[in-house]
Amino acid sequence: MAEKMGILGRKLGMTRIFDGAGAAVPVTVIEAGPCPVTQVKSVATDGYNAVQIALTAAKEKHVSKPFRGHLAKAGKGLFRHLREIRLEGAPDQELGQELTVGMFAAGDKVKVTGTSVGKGYQGRMRRWNFAGSKDTHGCEKVHRNNGSVGNNTFPGHVFKGRKMAGHWGNETVTELGLTIVDVRPEDNVILVKGSVPGPKNGLVLIRKQ
């Protein structure tokens, strides 16, 4: 799926700022870039248009030999994280070019992709907001049970997608329609209104909408 250009960053946490009217605005502070372009793909050579960007410098011992050879083409050093962004048209970026927060401006609409906070193994009531059974009057040891999960003879099995207990969180989540409140190029920081997926120091991808 074709996307608009974006940049990698780390979620530093949340705070609030005050607008011109004195109202408190909750914002997420994201330290984004600079992200060097480590590969440029085109329809002619790869069958589709895309740009690969990197973030977070890495030591040589933490990078495999083939990976080092790939990153050497950009001449920007070794990096821990790479992300590829597919584009609708031919990329304007060049190999080795650094992308910064200057590509955004206050008021821009963006979508932010991150990995949600893992909650571990959770029951049906917390994971799916089930009401549970009665606390009294005839209920015994079934207060938080999920109840029936399917028929007996026919179809004789549990359908896929049934809401049951299991692992919750630690999934790729994208928040759409977020507004950039402020951009601070001197600190490589973007302030985004509201919350974004992931824990503190979590890796996020900010893309234009």
pLDDT of the residue at 2? 59
Q: Extract the residue ranges of the chain whose pLDDT is less than 50.
A: none
pLDDT of the residue at 1? 52
Annotated domain spans of the chain: 6-137+167-208
pLDDT of the residue at 94? 94
pLDDT of the residue at 7? 96
Q: Return the CATH number of the domain spanning residue range 6-137+167-208.
A: 2.40.30.10
User: H or E element: which one contains 69?
Assistant: helix 65-72
Structure tokens at 114: 């991150």
| Residues composing the chain | 209
Quick one: the chain helix, strand, coil %, rounded to 5? 10, 40, 45
User: What is the amino acid identity at position 102?
Assistant: G
The CA distance from 132 to 147, in Å, is 9
With beta carbons less than 8 A apart as the criterion, state whether 184 and 177 touch.
no
pLDDT in tens, 111-141: 999 999 999 999 999 999 999 988 888 888 8
Q: What is the DSSP letter of 87?
A: B
The CA distance from 193 to 109, in Å, is 10
With beta carbons less than 8 A apart as the criterion, state whether 41 and 51 touch.
yes
pLDDT of the residue at 135? 87
Contact partners, residue 203, CB within 8 Å, separation at least 6: 8, 9, 10, 55, 81, 114, 115
With beta carbons less than 8 A apart as the criterion, state whether 88 and 2 touch.
yes
